[in-house]
A = this chain, B = another copy of it.
Amino acid sequence: MSVKEALKESLISFFEYKTPKIVHIKSKRVGVLNRIIQTLIIAYIIGFVIIAKRGYQEFSGIESSVTTKVKGIVSTKNLTADDFNDNYKDDKDLYIRVWDISDLVVPASENGAFFVTTNMIITPNQTLGICPEDADVSDAVCDPKVKDWCVDKVFQLGHGVSTGKCVNSSRKDVHTCQIEGWCPVEKDDYPLKNNTPMFTATKDFTVLIKNSINFNSYNVRRRNIIEIDNSSKLQDCTYHPDYNPGCPVFVLNDIVKGAGQDYDTISQYGGVIGIEINWDCNLDFDVKYCVPKYSFKRLDDPYTQIAKGWNFRYAYYNSNYRTLYKATGIRFVLLVSGSAGKFNFIPLVIKIGSGLGLLAITTIICDIVVLYLQKGGKYYKDKKFQYVEQVDNDYTDVLATNLRKRTASNEQNTPLSDS
């Protein structure tokens, strides 16, 4: 056969159809087993992968912008001298007043979060100077009889730099090293007796959450404030999971309750609450069904006994003095997530492709049953397998002759090609 002929034959062969030869075994038992396994796999692919997980859709990520506005007023005018701890008797007027958002929501603007103060220690009129260290800084407690106790000591967890002297502290009968720094130092305890948080009334504060999202791939933009609402309705409504799930105004107490927490308890040491806004949209339906679901969750661990809750210090500075605030409270963090799916041919084809791959498992299992686990396996094996001897070196010529004959007989157009 010349090269030209060989090429021609290859080309012809290339455009002819090749399909696997299938052994059709008339065994109902294995046939039914086969169909059951196939049905299970197909049911899994169609039911779970394609329908339940929406495998026929292409999904788009989410781009989100969220802003919040807290509203509310707290009055602590009902507190009396008896409510305060003894060491706050002189300072109590600092705390008996009316508080607004600018007093209690600190910092004024945070990206995707807001903090509401629930308890506070105010240290007014601190100046740079000399005063006794806080008796709670255990390193700084000294014995005035021992000379040089305080010399060359550094209190990294304290409030200043030791001057070397041991002096009376603000706590009775306790001496502490004298320090240089912002004086006087902050008190250790909160103002109210029994660790009562001062601003539990912030539970009635409301927050308006404005969340605008964008599904980039589909250029679909949605906002959590639904269009039919008008301004007056918006100011009046408050979110309720069942009766008013579309209202964007939340009472803080509802949020905390939704997270399974008690506002009064969390107020004591502070904490972190997540406000989750989930947009799970199916854009094959009308876009009006694409609305957010809110859920609430406490994010920090309430069960720890050490370094419990959340507090931080900030100060307002004036010319030569400052007012220091230790604010304990609840940080609310907004977590926006979601995705949008829309029918697309490509993911569907891919899912079907992998499904076909999985179907191969059927044949493997049934073959094992047919060939090894039932009577007559050897018989089926003989049918499934066509045994071909190896071409030995010695034997090649004979075979070649044989083959040439067979090829010739094939060319005589016998439909029974394999005998």
Binding site for B on A (CB under 8 A): 13-28, 30-35, 48, 63-65, 67, 69, 71-73, 75, 77, 97-98, 100-103, 106-113, 115, 128, 154-161, 180-182, 204-206, 208, 210, 212, 214, 221, 223, 225, 227, 229-231, 234-235, 272, 274, 297, 299-301, 304-307, 310, 312-319, 322-324, 331, 333, 335, 346, 349-350, 352-354, 356-358, 360-361, 363-364, 366-367, 370, 375-376, 378-380, 382-391, 393, 396, 399-400, 402-403, 406-407, 410, 413-419
Contact = CB atoms under 8 A, between A and B. Distances in A.
A88 to B, nearest CB: 19
B313 A101 contact: yes
A416 B417 contact: no
A307 B225 contact: yes
Given A69-B312, A366-B19, A24 B388 contact: yes
A221 to B, nearest CB: 7
A221 B301 contact: yes
Given A26-B389, A306-B234, A418-B418, A384 B19 contact: yes
16 contacts: A16-B25, A17-B31, A19-B363, A27-B390, A67-B300, A73-B156, A106-B108, A110-B111, A225-B307, A230-B306, A353-B357, A353-B358, A357-B360, A378-B403, A383-B388, A419-B419
Nearest to A276: B63
Contacts of A387: 24, 26, 410, 417-418
A139 to B, nearest CB: 10
B413 A389 contact: yes
B310 A108 contact: no
B386 A98 contact: no
Name the 6 nearest CB pairs between A and B, nearest first: A376-B391, A65-B299, A108-B314, A387-B417, A353-B358, A357-B357
Contact of A23 (B31, B48, B229, B388): B388
A399 B376 contact: yes
Contacts of A235: 157
Contact of A299 (B75, B214, B346, B390): B214
A288 B30 CA distance: 48
B214 A67 contact: no
A307 B25 CA distance: 73
A356 B357 CA distance: 7
Nearest to A30: B17
A80 B235 CA distance: 36
A234 B15 contact: no
A156 B21 CA distance: 81
Contacts of A310: 67
B210 A300 contact: yes
Given A17-B34, A108-B313, A297 B214 contact: yes
A367 B21 CA distance: 11
A401 to B, nearest CB: 11
A407 B379 CA distance: 10
B19 A25 contact: yes
A113 B112 CA distance: 11
Contact of A98 (B181, B357, B414): B181
The listed residue with most B CB atoms (<10 A of its CB), out of A210, A301, A366, is A301
A32 B389 CA distance: 16
Nearest to A386: B418
